[in-house]
Amino acid sequence: MNNDMLKYLLYGVAGLFAVIIATYVILQKNNKEKKYINSLQQGTKKSKFSTEVIYQKLYLFYLKTPFLKRYILKLRRRLEIVNIDDEYLTRLEAAKILTRAFLIIIPITIAIIVLTYKNALLMSMLLIFEVFLLDTFIDGMVDKIDNNLLKQQINFFSEIRHAYHEFNMVEEAIYQTAQDDENPEMSRQAEKIYEVLISDDPESELEKYYDVAPNSYLKEFAGVSYLTKEFGDRKVDGASLYLKNLNNITQEMQLEILKRDKLDYVFQSLSVIAIVPMLCLEPIKNWAISQFSFVESFYNGKNGMLVQILILIATFVCYILTRKLKDNGSTAMNTKNTENPWQEKLYRIKSIKKIIDMFIPKEGTKESRKLKTLMKDAASKDKIEWIYINRIMLCIVAFIVSVFIFGQLHTITINNVYEDPTTTYDIIGEMSEKDRKKGMEITKSDNEYIKYFKDKKDLKVTDITKVMTQGKVNKDYVDSTDGDRKVAAERIIDKIAIVNSEYLGWTEVLGAMVMAMIAYMAPVWMLRFQVRMRTLEMEDEVMQFQTIILMLMRIERVNVEIILEWLERYANIFKDPLSKCINNYEAGPWEALEAMKEDVTYQEFIRIIESMQAAVEKIPIQDAFDELDTERDYYQAKRKESNERLISKKGMIGKAIGFTPMILLFVGYLIVPLVFIGLTSMTTSFSSMTSS
C-alpha cells in the first residue's frame, strides 16, 4: 500500500467518522428538544425534521447495503420479539443500535490503520477481526433491552397484584395494568397476553405466543394466567394461589437479574482485555526496536511475523470463547436464519451435495450417533449437513490462508535481506541516522554481489574475495584489506544462503495441512465447549423446574402430563429427554418416565422423575411434591448459592481465557525475544572479543 492510497483512505475514514459524529450530535440535540416542543405544541403539527424519520431512512439504507444487511436483519430477529407487531419501533431501534455500534467501530478502525499502515498483512487481519467485534457491540446493546424488559416485568407484576385485588379477574387485571406507559415494552407483552386470554381459542393462541415470547418468565406468567382463568383461583394458606404463583415467578426473575448483573460485572472488561493485545502489537514492536536495535531483524523478519499471527489467532479464539462463556441466558433466542442459511443454499447444489455427503458419516454408524448426541447436548440448531459444510469450508480456507502466509513470510525475509541496513556490530538503543546511512550503503553493495553470485553453486569465500579484489561487481572493496574482504564475503554468503533457502518447502505444506485439520475439527470442539458450559447450567435449570412444579401442583385438574408439557416448554438442557417422554406417555406413563430416568444422569432431576412416578400410580401430585413447598426457603437459598458458584466458575474460566492473549503478547512477543536475542548477541560479542 503506497503512501498516497493510505493518505486518501485515512481522509475517507476520518470524513465518514466526522459525518456520523455530526449526525449523532444533531440527533441527540433534536431528541432533547423534542420533549420540550411536544409540551408546547400539543395538538399542533409536528416538525418535519425528526430523529425517528432519520433512523427510519438509515434502516432502509442499511437494508439495501449488502454488508450491513446481515446485521440489520439479525437485529430485527431479536427486536421484533420484544416489540410485538410494531414494525415502526423495530426498525427504529434496529437502526439506532447499528448506528451507535458504528460510532464505536469507526474510531477503532482509524486507530488500527494509523498504528499498522506499515504492515499490510497485520492491518488486514485486524480489519477482518472487526467484523466479529461488531457482533459483540450489537449483542451487548440488545442484551440491555432484554435486561430492561426483565426489570419492567418485576414492576408490572407488582402492579398487577393491586389490579387483581380490585377486579378479581385475571384478564381485567392484565388489561388495566397494560395501560401503564411507564413500562412500554412490558405493556406490549401484556396487551398480547390479554388478547390471547380473551380470544375464541385461547389454548392455540397461547401456543403461538410461547413461540415468540422474549423469555421463559413471560411464558410462565401467560400459562399461569390462562390456567387460573380456565380453572379458577383458590385460597392456599389464606392467600390467592394465582398471586402466590406470581410471587414465585418474581423471585425467579430477581435471581436471574442478579445473576446477569454479576456476570456482566465479571465479564465487562474481559472481552476488551482479550482484544487489546491486537492493538498493542505494533506499538510494542516499535518501542522494542527503538530501545534495542539488535531485535529489529526479529520483529521485521519471519519469526516476528509468525509470532504476530499466532497471537492474533489466540486472540480470536479466546474472544469467541469468552463470548460463549458470558452467555447470560438473554441470548437464548436463535438469531440466525435457521430456515435457509447460506449452508443450506450451498448444499442444494448437486455437485457440492455429492462432495459433502462423502464426508458425512453414514446413518446408524457410531460416528453418526456420537455427533448427533453431541449436537443435542450442545442444543445446536444446525443440521449435520451444515456442520460438515462449515468444517470443510474452514479446512479449505485455513489451508489456503496458511500457504499464503508462509509465502508472505518468505517474501518478507527476502525483502529484509535486500532492504534492511547492514550493521557490523550490535547496537543498544535506536540506530543513529549516520549508522543507518552507512548500513544502507553496505546493503546496496551486498545486493550487487548477491545478484551476481545468487545462482552459482558451491560458492566459496575465495570466489567472492577474488571478484572483490578485481572490482568486477563494484569498486567498494578494491582498496580494502584481506580481512575486511573475508568478513564481507562471509556476510554475503550468509545472505545468499537465506535468499536461496526462502521457498515453500514440504514442512510448510505439512504445517498448512495441520492447520487445516485443526480448522476442520474446530466446529466439533466448539460443540464440546458448549456442552461443558451447559453442564454448568444444569443445576440452575432443575431448580427452575422445581419452581414450575410448585406453581402447578396446587392447581386443580393439573396432572403429570401437563407438568411434563410445561417442563418441556421451558427446558433447554433436558429438552430432548422430556420430549421423548411426552411422545411415549400414552403408551404407559410409568414406563415413559422410567425410560427418561435412564436417559439422564443428573441426580436432582432423577428425584423429580421419581416423584412424578409416585404421582402417576400412588399419591396426588400435591403430596408427591410436598417437600418443594415445605422446604421452599431452603431451595431459594440453595438457588442463590448455586448461582454464586456458577458465576465463580465462569469468572475463573473467563479470566484464564481472557488474559491468555495478554500473557502471550508480553511474554512471547516482548520478553522472550529481548532476553533470547540479547543473550545470543552478548555471547557472540564476547566470543569475538576473546578470539581477537
327 confidence band (pLDDT: 50, 70, 90)? low
The lowest-confidence range among 118-122, 296-300, 605-609, 636-640 is 118-122
The answer as to whether 632 is a domain residue is: no
Name the residue type at position 478.
V
684 confidence band (pLDDT: 50, 70, 90)? low
Q: What angle do CA 368, 599, 552 make, to 5 degrees?
A: 130
Q: Are 523 and 320 in contact (CB under 8 A)?
A: no
Q: What percent of the chain has pLDDT over 90?
A: 2
What's the rounded Cα separation, in Å, for the pair 105 and 552?
A: 48
The lowest-confidence range among 13-17, 82-86, 151-155, 159-163 is 13-17
User: H or E stretch including 240?
Assistant: strand 239-240
Per residue in 458-495, is it b (16+ CB within 10 Å) or e — as a string?
ebeeeebbebbeeeebeebbeeeeeeebbebbebbbeb
Name the residue type at position 670.
L
- Higher per-residue pLDDT: 132 or 575: 575
Q: Are 546 and 626 in contact (CB under 8 A)?
A: no
Q: How many CB atoms lie within 10 A of CB 171?
A: 19
Q: Are 126 and 116 in contact (CB under 8 A)?
A: yes
Strand partners, 282: none
Residues 6+ apart with CB under 8 A from 607: none
What's the rounded Cα separation, in Å, for the pair 434 and 175?
A: 84
The lowest-confidence range among 153-167, 212-226, 638-652 is 638-652
What's the rounded Cα separation, in Å, for the pair 560 and 566?
A: 10
The x, y and z cell numbers of residue 7, run together, are 493518505
Q: Are 196 and 205 in contact (CB under 8 A)?
A: yes
Q: Are 132 and 316 in contact (CB under 8 A)?
A: yes
Q: Are 127 and 120 in contact (CB under 8 A)?
A: no
**On the CB side of 444, how many CA atoms lie within 13 Å of its CA?**
9
The lowest-confidence range among 48-62, 153-167, 331-345, 409-423 is 331-345
Give the range of the structural domain holding residue 55, as residue numbers without chain letter: 1-117
The answer as to whether 103 is a domain residue is: yes
Q: Given this model, what pLDDT does residue 399 score?
A: 92
396 confidence band (pLDDT: 50, 70, 90)? very high
The answer as to whether 367 is a domain residue is: no
Q: What's the farthest any 2 CA atoms get from each other in the chain?
A: 114
Q: Given this model, what pLDDT does residue 687 score?
A: 63
What's the rounded Cα separation, in Å, for the pair 552 and 554?
A: 6
DSSP string, 556-594: TT--HHHHHHHHHHH-STTHHHHHHHHHHGGG-HHHHHH
Average pLDDT over residues 622-644: 76
Name the residue type at position 415.
N
For 429, phi then psi, to 5°, come to 100, -175
Q: Given this model, what pLDDT does residue 46 score?
A: 46
pLDDT above 50 (res 330): no
Q: How many domains does the chain have?
A: 1
430 confidence band (pLDDT: 50, 70, 90)? low
Q: Given this model, what pLDDT does residue 653 score?
A: 86
- Which tens digits make up the pLDDT trace of 10-52? 666 666 666 666 666 666 655 555 554 455 444 444 444 567 7
Q: What angle do CA 542, 543, 545 make, to 5 degrees?
A: 65
Q: Are 389 and 347 in contact (CB under 8 A)?
A: yes
Q: What angle do CA 169, 185, 324 make, to 5 degrees?
A: 120
Q: Which residue has the cell 527476502?
A: 414
Q: What percent of the chain has pLDDT over 70?
A: 86
Return the DSSP state at 477.
Answer: T
Average pLDDT over residues 99-126: 78
Average pLDDT over residues 66-75: 81
Q: Are 373 and 502 in contact (CB under 8 A)?
A: no
pLDDT above 60 (res 425): no
Dihedral, CA atoms, 385, 391, 392, 397, nearest 10 degrees? 140
3-state secondary structure of 540: helix
681 confidence band (pLDDT: 50, 70, 90)? low
331 confidence band (pLDDT: 50, 70, 90)? very low
Average pLDDT over residues 641-647: 80
What's the rounded Cα separation, in Å, for the pair 401 and 394?
A: 10
**Average pLDDT across the chain, whole number:** 79
The lowest-confidence range among 378-382, 570-574, 683-687 is 683-687
pTM for the structure as a whole: 0.69
Q: How many CB atoms lie within 10 A of CB 519?
A: 21
